[in-house]
Amino acid sequence: MLSVKNLHAYYGRAHILQGVSLEAKAGEVVALLGRNGAGKSTAMKAIMGLLPPAEGEVSFAGRRIERLAPYRIARLGLGYVPEERRIFTELTVLENLEVGRQMPRPGVPAWTETRLFALFPNLARLRERPGGLMSGGEQQMLTIARTLMGNPSCVLLDEPSEGLAPVVVEQMAHSIRALKAEGLSVLLSEQNLHFSRAVADRAYIIEKGQIRFGGSMAELAADASLREQYLSV
């Protein structure tokens, strides 16, 4: 579904991604783990075309996308949920969803407001609420729902559990499992190992712009030294 090979990217002169390779198969939830500043968000942006990669290949649904504009990538069915959420604060919940709306894609679950409100019941009560007046958890739900309105076949979720209260994190995990049940692929970046273990099939660990580990969640759970080295304080 999504495959990244030897991706390099820079912020200004800072060499952030130093040859990242990873893969997410159809219907799979993959976690990209790492500490602050390890390069998780940059990897997401580079895949989405928001930060043009300097080197490397990105393939999605059988097409090379590393040179495409973000809107073309989105239209191929790759959804992006940014870490900072980037809700349109002056727009209501319904309007935020409207901006995300794209034509349905054959073979991919088609989302409507009604179905999304069923998935995120909190949003249903807030239809006319401006995005700027919502809590962090509600905004996180909205930013995911907004991306789903584009009927993606694969979603990049950048730190979905960050800054959320434990009970909201629980809901988020539930929602991601629901997406998987719909047949969507998900690549999520996380610092929270607990959360990742609750939702992901496989995991990569990124550290200082390079992939240091790739394997199943079970393998990761079994290797305490790995966790200690890359994820602990």
Partner 1 sequence: MSLPSILIQLLNGLASASSLFLVSAGLSLIFGVTRIVNFAHGSLYMLGLYGAYSLIEALGRTPLGFWSAVILAALVVGLVGVAIEVLVLRRIYRAPELFQLLATFAVVLVIKDVALFAWGPEDLVGPRAPGFGSVEILGKRIPAYDLLLIAIGPVVLGVMRLLLKRTRWGALVRAATQDREMVGALGVDQARLFTSVFFVGAVLAGLGGALQIPREPANLDLDLAVIADAFVVTVVGGLGSLGGAFLAAILIALAKAFCIGIGTVHLFGTEIVFSKLTLVVEFVIMGVVLVLRPYGLRGKKPATPRTSGEIAPALTSPRWQVAACWMVLFLVVPLLGDRYVVVLLTDIACFALFAASLHFIMGPAGMVSFGHAAYFGLGAYAAALLFKRAGLPMEAALLLAPFCAGLFAVVYGWFCVRLSGVYLAMLTLAFAQISWSIVFQWDSFTDGSNGIVGIWPSAWLSDKSVYYYMTLALCGIGIVFLWRVLFSPFGYVLRAGRDSPLRAEALGIDVRSFQWAAFVLAGMLAGLAGAAFAFSKGSISPSSVSIGQSTDGLVMVLLGGVETLTGPVVGAALFTWLRDELARDTQSWRAVLGLVILLIVLLFPQGLVGGLKALIGRWREARA
Partner 2 sequence: MSAVLQVEGLHKDFGGVRAVVDVSFAVDAGELLALIGPNGAGKSTCFNMLNGQLAPDSGIARLGGRDILGMSPRAIWKLGVGRTFQITATFASLSVRENVQMALYSHAGKLGSLLQRFGAAFTVEADALLDQVGMLEQATRLCGVLAYGDLKRVELAMALANQPRLLLMDEPTAGMAPRERVALMELVARLARARQIAVLFTEHDMDVVFSQADRIVVLDRGRLIAGGKPDEVKANVNVRDVYLGGMA
Paired tokens of 52: 């043009």
Pick what 37 binds: partner 2, partner 1, none; C-beta below 5 to 8 Å, kind-dependent: partner 2
In three-state secondary structure terms, 213 is: strand
Alpha helices in the chain (DSSP H): 40-48, 70-75, 93-100, 113-119, 121-124, 136-148, 166-182, 193-199, 217-222, 224-230
| Residue among 12 and 62 whose Cβ is closer to partner 2 | 12
| Residue among 98 and 201 whose Cβ is closer to partner 1 | 98
Instruction: Give the separation between CA 127 and CA 147, rounded to whole angstroms.
Output: 16
Which whole-number Å values give the CA distances from 54 to 9, 162, 211, in the listed order? 5, 28, 17
Q: Please list, residue by residue across 183-207, b when 16 or more beta carbons sit within 10 angstroms of its beta carbon and e when fewer do.
A: ebbbbbbbbbbebbbbbbbbbbbbb
| Residue among 116 and 193 whose Cβ is closer to partner 2 | 193
* CA within 13 Å, CB half, 229: 11
User: Considering the complex, what minimum distance in angstroms separates the CB of residue 73 from partner 1?
Assistant: 8
* Binding residues vs partner 1 (CB under 8 A): 12, 48, 50, 69-71, 74-75, 80, 82, 86, 88-91, 95-96, 98-102, 146-147, 149-150
Pick the closest to residue 145 from 79, 203, 84, 209 (CA basis).
79
User: Considering the complex, what minimum distance in angstroms separates the CB of residue 29 from partner 1?
Assistant: 21
| Residue among 12 and 106 whose Cβ is closer to partner 2 | 12
| Residue among 98 and 162 whose Cβ is closer to partner 2 | 162
- The DSSP element (H or E) to which 20 belongs, if any, is strand 14-24
* Binding residues vs partner 2 (CB under 8 A): 11-16, 35-37, 136, 159, 162-163, 191-195, 197, 208, 227, 231-233
Pick what 15 binds: partner 1, partner 2, none; C-beta below 5 to 8 Å, kind-dependent: partner 2
User: Considering the complex, what minimum distance in angstroms separates the CB of residue 185 from partner 2?
Assistant: 23
Pick what 101 binds: partner 1, partner 2, none; C-beta below 5 to 8 Å, kind-dependent: partner 1
Pick what 82 binds: partner 1, partner 2, none; C-beta below 5 to 8 Å, kind-dependent: partner 1
